[in-house]
Structure 1
Amino acid sequence: MISYHGSNILIKEIDLSKLRLYKDFGQGFYCTEIREQAELMAKRVARIYRGTPYVNIFELDENINKLNH
């Protein structure tokens, strides 16, 4: 699955230690399957924190969190 993350920095590797605690849905690394949504977030974050808007693209394994029964 392709996921997008809008930011003001390029992210080569997700570092969970850098996540903010008090996000809308709690601490986490937020992604979307909708590229346009990530583009809007990247512009917003770059405007607030300065920097260049980037859409980071990640290919995630959909089966990684499924339990084997």
Structure 2
Amino acid sequence: MKLYHGSTEIVASPEIRDANRPLDYGSGFYTTTSFEQATAWVKRRMKEYKKDKGYVNIYEFDETNFDKFNCLLFQSPTDKWVDFVMANRTQIKFIHPYDIVYGPVANDRVYAAFALYEGGVLDKQSLINELKTYRLVDQLLFHTEKSLKALNFIGYEEVTL
């Protein structure tokens, strides 16, 4: 499985880093199977940090390795996915036991829907039904050092604005 990570740096040796803000799946190293998603992410960061170029880092992950780790895999938005994302986004220092978490990305449109849910405007099933109408990109979080060892850097592509 090819995975991508957008950054303003070449990341040949990924690290587990604590987030400076609440994230969908907690702290760790985020990747996606979507080159386009990684490119869009790095372009946002380039604008934010006023950088002329960035990088889509490319990795290989052997899918048979999922069996070697404690994984939480979401194929689509579900009750459990909503609860997990909300716990990571609202509970300070929320800790989970998973080495790897895979599932949909809560992008800007999804954040808006989550805000409606959090504010009581949408119930959980309405939120899930709404999210199922979106074209959601995936994300794969490597949450532990053990899991990061299964990720192999194979190169990068330079990105410019």
Structure 1 segment 11-22 matched on structure 2, within 5 A:
11-16=11-16, 18-20=17-19, 22=22
Across the two proteins, how many residue pairs are aligned to each other?
66
Q: Return the TM-score normalized by structure 2.
A: 0.37
Q: Distance in 2 between matches of 1:47 and 1:38?
A: 14
The corresponding residue for 1:35 is 35
Q: Structure 1: which 5+ residue stretches go unaligned?
A: none
Relative to structure 1, the CA distance from residue 12 to residue 61 in structure 2 (aligned partners, 3 Å threshold; closer, same or farther) is: same
Q: Give the percent of matched residue pairs that are identical in Structure 1 and Structure 2.
A: 36
Relative to structure 1, the CA distance from residue 64 to residue 50 in structure 2 (aligned partners, 3 Å threshold; closer, same or farther) is: farther
- Note the aligned Cα RMSD (angstroms): 1.7
Are the aligned partners of 1:5 and 1:56 in contact in 2 as well (CA < 8 Å)? Answer: yes
Bigger Rg over Cα: 2
Q: How far has the Cα of 1:30 moved from its partner?
A: 1.1
Q: Which runs of 4+ in 1 moved over 6 A?
A: none
The corresponding residue for 2:55 is 54
Relative to structure 1, the CA distance from residue 57 to residue 19 in structure 2 (aligned partners, 3 Å threshold; closer, same or farther) is: farther
Q: Distance in 2 between matches of 1:42 and 1:59?
A: 19
- In structure 2, give the amino acid aligned to 1:66: D
Q: Distance in 1 between matches of 2:27 and 2:14?
A: 13
The corresponding residue for 2:6 is 6
Q: Distance in 2 between matches of 1:38 and 1:57?
A: 10
Q: Distance in 2 between matches of 1:61 and 1:43?
A: 28
SS at 1:53 equivalent: strand
Higher relative contact order (CA 8 A, sep 6+): 1
Which one has a larger percent helix, Structure 1 or Structure 2? Answer: 2
SS at 1:11 equivalent: coil
Q: Structure 2: which 5+ residue stretches go unaligned?
A: 69-161
- In structure 2, give the amino acid aligned to 1:6: G
Which one has a larger percent strand, Structure 1 or Structure 2? Answer: 2
